[in-house]
Structure 1
Amino acid sequence: MNSIKRHIVIASHSTLAQGMANALKFFEGDNLKLNVLSAYVDNKPIEGQIEEIFNQFDKDDEVIVLTDLLGGSVNQKFFPYINRPHTHLITGVNLSLAMAITMEPIEGYLMPEKIQSIISEAKKQVKYVNELAKNADEDDEDE
């Protein structure tokens, strides 16, 4: 079962995906293999670019696609690929989610429960820091 290959695709409007890939490589090293799609920056149809990406993968390979916006056209163009076996489409990506996915050991296919758990943890990273600081100050005053 260890012969499974996992491919990570990061796709976004403009160059957000490339920036995310650069940040991931900063933390995880330049050997990190990612497929990056910066949509609509070169006037090429995105459908063809997506098809080219998927044509590189064997049918048994696992593919995890991370996109920027749920209602966005980039996510919509990847949507038909969720019918491909071992393909997962995750949207609203942030850096902590992308790091958790890319650092996940390849010991078999990722189960939907594990992906849900990673998403849940990543959601906890979205905070309004002003409120956190205010609450911390109030806690200090209570002591």
Structure 2
Amino acid sequence: MSCEYSPMARLLWLKGCAMKKILVATHGRLASGVKSVAEVLLHEDSAITVVDCYVDESDPNEQIAAFIDGVRPEDDALIVTDLLGGSVCNMVTAMQPEKHGIVHVTGFNIALILECLITGEAFTPEYIDSVIAQASTSMRRVVLRAGGATDTDDDFFG
């Protein structure tokens, strides 16, 4: 589990300001991969805490509970898990994070995580629902057309 914060995040915490906190808890090392992607694309990953479940003898219940206990009422907090109905999702659900003002999302993609990291919006259920709707539109089957062009709505590099 990682709990390192950038100097700015530490300063905000010391001043008692709201902090953005995202826990990514997954089977295997997917959570660490998500944190790595955030660092590569945004050069910022301090808001992300990871729990890579079932890769060693550590107890993910303790790590997740520690995250929940560390969220203050003024913080914006989100927990994302990898698979609806999976053991990690069920573990988080049993801890009832919503009673602590924490939104729980399962079945995420990278677009959802990145949007939550860069937004200035509070992590309200309504806002997170809109991010889920937006992020789910970024998943598509890519089809090559004649000449090697892809059949997508826009040309990212062009």
User: TM-score if structure 2 supplies the norm length?
Assistant: 0.74
Task: Give the number of the structure with larger relative contact order, counting CA–CA contacts within 8 Å between residues 6 or more apart.
Answer: 1
Q: CA deviation at 1:129?
A: 0.8
Asked if 1:44 is matched to 2:44, the reply is no
Superposed counterparts of 1:49-88, under 5 Å:
49-79=63-93, 80-88=95-103
Name the stretch that deviates more: 9-18 or 73-82. 73-82
Q: Which residue number in structure 2 is paired with residue 27 of structure 1?
A: 41
Identify if the C-alpha distance between structure 1 residues 90 and 43 changes in structure 2 by more than 3 Å, giving closer, same or farther: same
Q: Which residue number in structure 2 is paired with residue 140 of structure 1?
A: none
Identify if the C-alpha distance between structure 1 residues 30 and 62 changes in structure 2 by more than 3 Å, giving closer, same or farther: closer
Q: Stretches of 4+ moved more than 4 A in 1?
A: 132-136
Contact 2:68–2:100 (8 Å) recurs in 1: no
Identify if the C-alpha distance between structure 1 residues 83 and 112 changes in structure 2 by more than 3 Å, giving closer, same or farther: closer
Unaligned runs of 5+ in 2: 1-15, 152-158
Q: CA deviation at 1:133?
A: 4.5
Provide the C-alpha distance between the structure 2 equivalents of 1:133 and 1:112, rounded to a whole number of angstroms.
40
Provide the C-alpha distance between the structure 1 equivalents of 2:28 and 2:66, rounded to a whole number of angstroms.
18
Q: Which residue number in structure 1 is paired with residue 139 of structure 2?
A: 126
User: TM-score if structure 1 supplies the norm length?
Assistant: 0.81
Percent of aligned pairs with the same residue? Answer: 25
Superposed counterparts of 1:70-109, under 5 Å:
70-79=84-93, 80-105=95-120, 109=122
Is the helix fraction higher in 1 or 2? 1
Q: CA deviation at 1:58?
A: 2.4
Q: CA RMSD in A?
A: 2.2
Contact 1:8–1:63 (8 Å) recurs in 2: yes
* 1:57-81 residue CA offsets vs partner (Å, 9 max, x unmatched): 3244231011110111111111133
Q: 1:115 aligns with which of 128, 146, 149?
A: 128
* 1:92-120 residue CA offsets vs partner (Å, 9 max, x unmatched): 111111101111115xx322221111100
